[in-house]
Structure formats: structure tokens, C-alpha cells
Amino acid sequence: MRLANIVWLGMAGLGLLLAQPPNDNCANASLITFPNNNYGLGVFYSDTVDITGATLQPGEYIPPGVPNGKTVWYRFFIPTTRTVRIILRQVGTSIDPTKAGWTLYRTNSCLPGAAQRVDPPIVLMEGYTHACLRRGWYLVQVGADFAVSGQIFLELQVDAPRIDAGAEANYDHAATAQNLGVLNTLWWSSLVKDVSFEVACQSVHPGEAICDNDSSWSKSTWHVFRTDGHIDWLGIRIGEDPWNSTETTPREWRVFLYQGDARTDPNSLTLIEGCIPFQQVGSWAFPQHDFLCQLQPNTYYTIRILYRTNYSGNVRLQLFERGEGPSIGTNPSTLPASHQFGVLSMGPTYTAYDKWSCNARISLNRCGNLTPTDTINGRDLALYYTFTITGQVHVYLSSGGCGATLRLFRTTIQPHATITTPTSER
């Protein structure tokens, strides 16, 4: 009986000496936070705990090679992609570095297993740089031999995705936006830019607009171009190329267009249109969005593309442009000589050349009941010509194609004239 009492007292004393650390169980993992709503960059430290009295939980998974006598747990959250170096440190030198290690899991659920593990598991008391940690919750499991005694803590070095560390993060920042150059009109094609780039480890930055109040839009790329001396239409087309048929369909992106150069002054960008949905359902179906009469000549613009947290692939960005120059005969009250044929003679053909351009919009050149509305028969552009006949003659009129409608008026045009109804229309 006396021997039993001595053993019981001894075990009670050992239990008091080997108190379990507060983060002994996964459910009580010690939280590591970063400033600025976890967007903060820099070096951060966990709480320091005494691992001496730590235990194992029933069913706890520990990767092969990691010391497995006992464990403690930490957790942290990153709202976007980060390059993170995790280092297991100790207070003093009492712990043999070969007797402790750690494992990272991408989850906030306990207990994690091999499916949530972020390789590689670290079998020593040392550091490892994860070049491309995606947005989400992470658990760090520190394992040690049963006999290990001492205080340990984690050091986390958090950076924006670093290409030099192996992160695929081209065009991730406004300052490093892709330079697409000048959009020059090509006579043989409206496609003026066609580029491809890899999306994998890009991030977003504090204050960067996201869409749908949905934080899973956690990656972005930036692209800058300048318009030439005249632009009427810009088309933006985006698609995954080559198409990865093993991934879930559809592919989704959100696009922003700003006036201004993000590389030089990202805080002064003017939003033209934002959160434009792009959705691709197959390799053949590149979605496109058009901007008609919205851009200025000789001006810098910035495209920002948003991606989901789990998206990775090769993205193809195509820009289309049209605009050769301004229209000439847009104002019926002040037509140039080229658009005034004068008195027609019998026999000759009279020709005048012009361009369809944004400054030919009817809304910009209203003239009494000649243009009573901004749109006539579904058309919102108009060019004008005048001629005079001295008698009853046959006149053949042709618009040269492009699906234009001809309207013929019998009148004399004066500034701000009131025009009679058309005598014919086709």
C-alpha cells in the first residue's frame, strides 16, 4: 500500500512538471496574425511554447521522417498569394535540431492528413521557403521526439510572390505591368496585340478592387498600352490557350479598364469599366468585350485581370483596334468642299471619300428634323453630301457598301436648318 502511494505521488508530480502547452491539440492551434488584415509583409513570430509536456492526439497524422513523439500546432491565414519562409526556432540550444521538424497543411480543419499536406515535410529544425502559397488557412504541425525538452517558436518571413524564389508571378504588380506598346491600326487586320502569359502565383494588394464581394478573386495581372493618333473601337479578348480539358469548365475572369499608366502612377487611374465578366466554355470560345467611342487618342490605358484563387493556366490576351481618322462630312451645316458636288452635269460620276468614325455620331451633330433622334433606322452614324440639279434627271446614288442606308432630302441647308422630310430612302 505504501509503495502504491509513492508511485501515485510520483506520477502526479511528473504531470505537474510536464504541463501541456496551450496549443498541444490541433483545435487549439496558436494563431499567427499579420498586420493590415493579414496583407502585411515582413518577418513575424508565433507565441513561444514549452514543448516538453506536449502529447499526440489519437489518429494524428505525421508524415514519415518527421519526429513523431509529440506535437504542437500553429495556424495562420493569408488573403492572397504569398511567398512564405517558415523557420522552426528554439530558445537556447537545448534541443537537438535533428529531433524536431514541422509540416504545413492547407486547411483550417482538424485533424489534417496527407491530402492537405503542402510538401515537403521538414524533418529537421530548419526553415523552408514556400514560393507560392495560395490564399487560405494553413496549419503548421511541429513534431518532436518524445524526450525533447525546451521552448520553441516559429518565424515566418512573408513576401509578395517572388519570382526569384520560384513563383510564377509575371505582371503581378502595377509597377511591373506588361508593356503592350502602342496600338497601331493595321490595314490587313483588326488584331493588333496577341500575347500569352502564365497565371499561377499572382496576388492582389490591399485596396485593390475585387468583384462580387468575393474574396476568391485573389490574383491579378496588369497590362498597359497606349492608343495611337485615332481610335474608334477597342476589343479585349481573353482565353486559356492551350485549353486544359482536365480542369472544371467554365473558366472565369473579371476585367477592369482604366485610363492612365499603372506603372507610373497607380493611384491616379480613372476607371472606364470594371468587373467585366469573361467566361470561356471551350478552347474555341474566347470571350470578348468591346469599347466603342470610349477611348482617347495618344493616351495610356491599363487593363487589370482578376483570377480565382485556384486558377492556373496559360492565358492569351488579344487586343483589337480600329480607327483610321476622323470623319469629314459630319455636320450638314458646315460641309467641306469635298462633300459639296455643286450642279450635276449629265454623264460624269461624282465621288467623295470619307471614313466612318466616332465623330460621325448623330448625337454629336443634331440638325433640326434632319436628325430628330440620335438613332435613325437602327443607325447612329451619319455622313452628309449635297448636290444640285437644274431639271428632272435620273441620279444613281451608291454608298460604297458597309450596310449604310441612303436618305435623300429636297432642301437647301442653312446653319441649324429645318429640313423637310426625305423624298426617298433606301
Instruction: For 62-86, write each residue's pLDDT tens digit.
Output: 999 999 999 999 999 999 999 999 9
What residues contact 75, with CB distance under 8 A and at least 6 apart? 29, 30, 31, 32, 108, 137, 138, 139, 140
All three cell numbers of 282: 471551350
| Cell numbers given for 415 | 446653319
pLDDT in tens, 96-124: 999 999 999 999 999 999 999 999 999 99
2 has pLDDT over 50: no
Cβ proximity of 262 and 271 under 8 Å:
no
Mean of per-residue pLDDT scores for the chain: 89
Residue 405 has pLDDT above 50, yes or no: yes
* CATH pick for 174-322 out of 3.30.1360.120, 2.60.120.510, 3.90.550.10, 2.60.40.3500: 2.60.120.510
pLDDT digits (tens, 9 = 90+) for 327-360: 998 888 889 999 998 898 888 888 888 888 998 8
User: Where are the domains positioned within the chain?
Assistant: 2-165, 174-322, 326-426
Q: Tell me, what's the pLDDT at 397? A: 79
**Separation between Cα atoms, residue 235 and residue 47, nearest integer Å:** 53
Question: Which pLDDT does position 366 carry in this prediction?
Answer: 76
Which residues have CB under 8 Å from 114's CB, separation 6+?
Answer: 61, 63
Burial of 100 (0-12, 13-18, 19+ CB in 10 A): buried
Sign of the alpha-carbon dihedral angle for 271, 273, 275, 278: negative
What confidence tens digit (pLDDT) does each residue in 229-256 have? 999 999 999 999 999 998 888 999 999 9
Backbone angles phi, psi at 369, to 5 degrees: -85, 5
| CA separation for the pair 75, 73 (Å, rounded) | 7
Contact 388, 344 (CB under 8 A): yes
Q: Apex CA 100: angle with CA 97 and CA 104, to 5°?
A: 125
Q: Residue 417 has what pLDDT?
A: 43
Instruction: Inform me whether the pLDDT recorded for 12 exceeds 60.
Output: no
**Range picked from 10-19, 32-41, 373-382 for highest mean pLDDT:** 32-41
Of the chain, the percentage scoring pLDDT greater than 90 comes to 68
CB–CB of 256/217 below 8 Å?
no
pLDDT of residue 424: 55
Q: Please give the share of the chain, as a percent, with pLDDT higher than 70.
A: 91
Calpha distance 290→276 (Å, rounded): 11
What is the dihedral sign for C-alpha 395, 396, 402, 407? positive
Question: For the residues 33-49, what does the mean pLDDT come to?
Answer: 97
| pLDDT at res. 379 | 81
Given CATH 2.60.120.380, say whether it is the number of domain 2-165. Answer: yes
pLDDT tens track for 133-180: 999 999 999 999 999 999 999 999 999 999 999 999 999 999 999 999
Q: How confident is the model at residue 11 (pLDDT cuts 50, 70, 90)?
A: very low
Q: Do domains 2-165 and 174-322 have the same CATH topology?
A: yes
Residue 42's pLDDT band (cuts 50, 70, 90): very high
pLDDT grade for 9, boundaries at 50, 70 and 90: very low
> At CA 138, angle to CA 134 and CA 143, rounded to 5?
135
When pLDDT is averaged across residues 270-276 and rounded to a whole number, the result is 97
Report whether pLDDT(16) > 50.
no
pTM of the model: 0.86
Which three three-digit cell numbers place residue 204? 492582389
Does position 257 have pLDDT exceeding 80, yes or no? yes
CB 47 within 8 A of CB 30: yes
pLDDT at 412: 58
The span from the CA of 77 to the CA of 32, in Å, is 8
**What's the pLDDT at 120?**
97
